[in-house]
A and B are shown apart, each in its own frame.
Chain A
Amino acid sequence: MTDAEELRVLTRKLLEEHPPATTDRTDFLRARFDAGLAWVHYPVGLGGLDAPRALQAVVDAELAAAGAPDNDPRKIGIGLGMAAPTVLAHGTDEVKRRFLRPLWVGEEVWCQLFSEPGAGSDLAALATRAVRDGEDWVVDGQKVWTSSAHTARWAILIARTDPDAPKHRGITYFVCDMTDPGVEVRPLRQITGEAEFNEVFLTGVRIPDAHRLGEVGDGWRVAQTTLMNERVSIGGARIPREGGMIGKVATTWRERPELRTHDLHRRLLDHWVDAEVARLAGERLRQQLVAGRPGPEGSAMKLAFARLNQVISGLEVELLGDEGLLYGEWEMRRPELVDFTGRDAGYRYLRSKGNSIEGGTSEVLLNIVAERVLGLPPEPRNDKDVAWKDLAR
Chain B
Amino acid sequence: MTESSEPTEQPLDLLYSETEDDLRAAVRALLADRAGPQTLLGRIETDSPYVPGLWKSLAGDIGAAGLLVPEKLGGQGASHREAAVVLEELGRAVTPLPYLTSAVVATETLLALAGEGEAAAGLLAELASGRRVAVLAVPLSTAPGAEFPLAESVAGVPDAAAADVFLVPRADGLYAVPAEEATVEPQTPLDLTRPLARVTTEGGSGTRLAGPDAARTAVRRGLLAGAGLLASEQLGLAEWCLEETVRYTRERHQFNRPVGSFQALKHRMAQLWLDLVGARAAARAAADALATGSADAPLTVAVAQAYCSKVAVRAAEECVQLHGGIGMTWEHPAHLALKRAKSDQIALGSAGRHQDAIACLVGLEPPA
Contact = CB atoms under 8 A, between A and B. Distances in A.
Given A237-B3, A240-B7, A374-B246, A272 B277 contact: no
Given A369-B273, A370-B266, A374-B269, A268 B282 contact: no
Q: How large is the interface on A (under 10, 10 to 19, 20 to 34, 35 or more residues)?
A: 35 or more
A201 interface: no
A250 interface: yes
Nearest to B5: A240
Contact of B8 (A239, A240, A254, A373): A240
Contacts of B8: 240
B367 A262 contact: yes
B38 interface: no
Nearest to B256: A380
B296 to A, nearest CB: 9
Interface residues of B, number: 52
Contact of B362 (A73, A272, A288): A272
Contacts of B13: 287
A297 B5 contact: no
Contacts of B274: 300, 303-304, 369
Interface in B245-287: 246, 249-250, 257-258, 260-261, 263, 265-267, 269-271, 273-274, 277-282, 284-285
A377 B367 contact: no
Interface stretch (A12-20, A123-131, A143-151, A277-285): A277-285
A301 B306 CA distance: 20
B278 A376 contact: no
Given A237-B3, A366-B271, A377 B277 contact: no
B328 to A, nearest CB: 23
A254 B280 contact: no
Contact of B2 (A237, A242, A250, A269): A237
A257 interface: yes
Interface string A285-301: 00110010100010010
Contacts of B278: 274, 277-278, 280-281, 300, 304
Given A284-B14, A291-B15, A238 B3 contact: yes
Interface in B343-366: 355, 358-359, 362-366
B166 interface: no
A373 B9 CA distance: 33
B20 to A, nearest CB: 14
A82 B213 CA distance: 62
10 contacts: A274-B278, A277-B281, A304-B274, A304-B278, A363-B267, A370-B266, A376-B249, A376-B258, A376-B261, A379-B261
Interface of B: 1-9, 11-15, 242, 246, 249-250, 257-258, 260-261, 263, 265-267, 269-271, 273-274, 277-282, 284-285, 303, 306-307, 355, 358-359, 362-368
Given A284-B284, A374-B266, 19 more contacts: A238-B11, A240-B6, A250-B364, A260-B365, A265-B366, A269-B306, A270-B355, A273-B358, A274-B307, A277-B282, A281-B281, A283-B14, A293-B15, A303-B274, A304-B277, A374-B246, A374-B273, A376-B249, A377-B260
Interface of A: 73, 233, 236-243, 250, 253-254, 257, 260-262, 265-266, 268-270, 272-274, 276-278, 280-281, 283-284, 287-288, 291, 293, 297, 300, 303-304, 363, 366-367, 369-371, 373-380
